[in-house]
Amino acid sequence: MSEKILIIGGVAAGPKTACRLKRLNPEAQITIIDQDSLISYGGCGIPYYVSGDVSDEKELRSTSFHAVRDEQFFEDAKGVSVFTRTRAQSIDRKNKTVKTLNLDTNTEEDLPYDKLVIATGCQPNKIPIPGADLAGVFMISDLHQAVAIKEQLAKGQVGKAVVIGGGPIGIEMAESFADLWGIETTIIELMPQILPRAVDKVYASMLSHHLEKNGVAVKISEMVKTIEQSGSSYTVTTDQQSYEADIIIMAVGVRPRSDLAKNAGLLVSPMGGIVVNERLQTTDPDIYSAGDCIETTNLVSGTKGQSPFGSLANRQGRVVADNLAGIPSIFPGVVNSFIMKAFDVCIGCTGYSLDSALAEGYDADQVITAQSDRAHFFPAQTVIPLQMVFDKRTRQVLGFQGFGPMSDAVLARLDAAAALIGKGATVEDFINLEMAYAPPFATALDALNATANVAENSLAGRLRTVDFDNFLTWMDNPSTQPEWQALDIRHPNESQLFKDQFGDQWLPIPYVEIRKRAKEIPTNKTMVIICDAGTRSYEIQCFLDSIGNPNSLVLGGGFNIIRRISVDWWPTK
Amino acid sequence: MSEKILIIGGVAAGPKTACRLKRLNPEAQITIIDQDSLISYGGCGIPYYVSGDVSDEKELRSTSFHAVRDEQFFEDAKGVSVFTRTRAQSIDRKNKTVKTLNLDTNTEEDLPYDKLVIATGCQPNKIPIPGADLAGVFMISDLHQAVAIKEQLAKGQVGKAVVIGGGPIGIEMAESFADLWGIETTIIELMPQILPRAVDKVYASMLSHHLEKNGVAVKISEMVKTIEQSGSSYTVTTDQQSYEADIIIMAVGVRPRSDLAKNAGLLVSPMGGIVVNERLQTTDPDIYSAGDCIETTNLVSGTKGQSPFGSLANRQGRVVADNLAGIPSIFPGVVNSFIMKAFDVCIGCTGYSLDSALAEGYDADQVITAQSDRAHFFPAQTVIPLQMVFDKRTRQVLGFQGFGPMSDAVLARLDAAAALIGKGATVEDFINLEMAYAPPFATALDALNATANVAENSLAGRLRTVDFDNFLTWMDNPSTQPEWQALDIRHPNESQLFKDQFGDQWLPIPYVEIRKRAKEIPTNKTMVIICDAGTRSYEIQCFLDSIGNPNSLVLGGGFNIIRRISVDWWPTK
* Confidence band for B491, pLDDT divided at 50, 70 and 90: very high
Nearest to A435 among B23, B311, B435 (CB): B311
Cα–Cα distances (Å) from A14 to A17, A108, B297, in that order, read: 5, 22, 45
Closest CA to A134 of A35, A245, A257, A256: A245
pLDDT of residue B65: 85
Nearest to B64 among A329, A372, A542 (CB): A372
In a 3-state reduction of DSSP, which class is residue A436?
coil
Closest CA of chain A from B38, distance in Å:
18
CB contact set of B48 (below 8 Å; sequence gap of 6+): A375, A377, A378, A439, B54, B176
In a 3-state reduction of DSSP, which class is residue A289?
strand
Rounded Cα distance between A139 and B40, Å, is 57
Helix ranges (H only) for A340-467 are 354-359, 409-421, 427-432, 447-459
pLDDT of residue B480: 82
Question: Amino acid letter at A527?
Answer: M
Structure confidence by residue, pLDDT tens digits, B57-115: 999 999 888 899 999 999 999 999 999 999 999 999 999 999 999 999 999 999 999 99
Is B441 within 8 Å of A341 when comparing Cβ atoms?
yes
Q: Please give the residue of chain A at the shortest CA–CA distance from B299.
A: A434
* Helix H or strand E encompassing A239: none
Nearest to B438 among A44, A73, A419 (CB): A44
Share of chain B above pLDDT 70, in %: 100
pLDDT of residue B1: 52
**In which order are the strands placed within the sheet that holds A383-391?**
A338-342, A345-351, A397-405, A383-391, A364-372
* Confidence band for B38, pLDDT divided at 50, 70 and 90: very high
Question: Amino acid letter at B174?
Answer: A
User: Which residues of chain B have a CB within 8 Å of the CB of A545?
Assistant: 26
User: Which residues of chain B have a CB within 8 Å of the CB of A168?
Assistant: 438
Q: Which of B57, B65, B369, B552 to substitute to test the interface with A, most A CBs within 10 Å? A: B65
Judging by beta carbons within 10 Å of its beta carbon (0-12, 13-18, 19+), is residue A563 exposed, middle or buried? Answer: middle
Q: Please give the residue of chain B at the shortest CA–CA distance from A59.
A: B377
Catalytic residue among B19, B44, B122, B349: B44
Paired residues of B553 in beta bridges:
B528
pLDDT of residue A378: 81
User: Which residues of chain A have a CB within 8 Å of the CB of B378?
Assistant: 45, 48, 53
Closest CA of chain A from B435, distance in Å:
5
Q: Please give the residue of chain B at the shortest CA–CA distance from A511.
A: B77
Q: From the CB of residue B255, how many other CB atoms can be counted at a distance below 10 Å?
A: 16
pLDDT of residue B64: 84
In a 3-state reduction of DSSP, which class is residue B389?
strand
Paired residues of A385 in beta bridges:
A370
Share of chain B above pLDDT 90, in %: 93
* pLDDT for B490 beyond 60: yes
Question: Active-site residue B293, yes or no?
Answer: no
* pLDDT for A188 beyond 70: yes
Rounded Cα distance between B179 and B342, Å, is 10
CB B268 within 8 A of CB B274: yes
* Confidence band for A66, pLDDT divided at 50, 70 and 90: confident
Find the radius of gyration of the CA atoms of chain B: 27
Task: Say what the ipTM of the complex is.
Answer: 0.96
Rounded Cα distance between A432 and B419, Å, is 10
pLDDT of residue B573: 66
* Confidence band for B141, pLDDT divided at 50, 70 and 90: confident
* Confidence band for B444, pLDDT divided at 50, 70 and 90: very high
Q: Mean pLDDT throughout A202-212?
A: 98
Structure confidence by residue, pLDDT tens digits, B357-392: 999 999 999 999 999 999 987 878 999 999 999 999
pLDDT of residue A228: 98
The phi and psi torsions of A48 (rounded to 5 degrees) equal -80, -25
Closest CA to B62 of A532, A514, B85, B54: B54
Rounded Cα distance between A497 and A3, Å, is 76
- Is the model more confident about A64 or about B150? B150
Catalytic residues of A: 44
Cα–Cα distances (Å) from A194 to A410, A435, A559, in that order, read: 19, 31, 22
Question: Between vectors from CA B442 to CA B441 and to CA B447, what angle results, nearest 5°?
Answer: 145
CB B283 within 8 A of CB B298: no
pLDDT of residue B389: 98
Is A334 within 8 Å of B449 when comparing Cβ atoms?
no
Q: From the CB of residue B130, how many other CB atoms can be counted at a distance below 10 Å?
A: 11
Furthest C-alpha separation in chain A = 89
In a 3-state reduction of DSSP, which class is residue B175?
helix
Rounded Cα distance between B366 and B427, Å, is 11
CB A254 within 8 A of CB A308: yes
User: Which residues of chain A have a CB within 8 Å of the CB of B298?
Assistant: none
CB A360 within 8 A of CB A348: no
Give the side-chain half-sphere CA count within 13 A for A469. Answer: 2
Give the side-chain half-sphere CA count within 13 A for A369. Answer: 27
* pLDDT for A141 beyond 90: no
pLDDT of residue A112: 98
Q: Global pTM?
A: 0.97
Share of chain A above pLDDT 70, in %: 100
Relative to beta strand B216-219, strand B224-230 is: unpaired
Is A512 within 8 Å of B314 when comparing Cβ atoms?
no
In a 3-state reduction of DSSP, which class is residue A149?
helix
Rounded Cα distance between A31 and A14, Å, is 10
Q: Mean pLDDT throughout B267-282?
A: 98
Q: Mean pLDDT throughout B526-533?
A: 96
Which region, left, alpha or beta, applies to residue B486 given φ > 0 means left and ψ of -120 to 50 means alpha?
A: beta
pLDDT of residue A1: 52
Give all strands (DSSP E) within B240-307, no chain letters.
242-245, 247-250, 254-256, 287-289, 296-297, 304-305
Nearest to A435 among B406, B415, B444 (CB): B415
Structure confidence by residue, pLDDT tens digits, B186-202: 999 999 999 999 999 99
Q: Please give the residue of chain B at the shortest CA–CA distance from A379.
A: B53
pLDDT of residue A117: 98
DSSP letters spanning B96-116? TEEEEEETTT--EEEEE-SEE
Q: Which of A16, A74, A408 to substitute to test the interface with B, most B CBs within 10 Å? A: A408
Rounded Cα distance between A137 and A173, Å, is 13
* pLDDT for B53 beyond 80: yes
CB B47 within 8 A of CB B92: no
In the DSSP assignment, the letter for residue B321 is H
Q: Mean pLDDT throughout A386-393?
A: 98
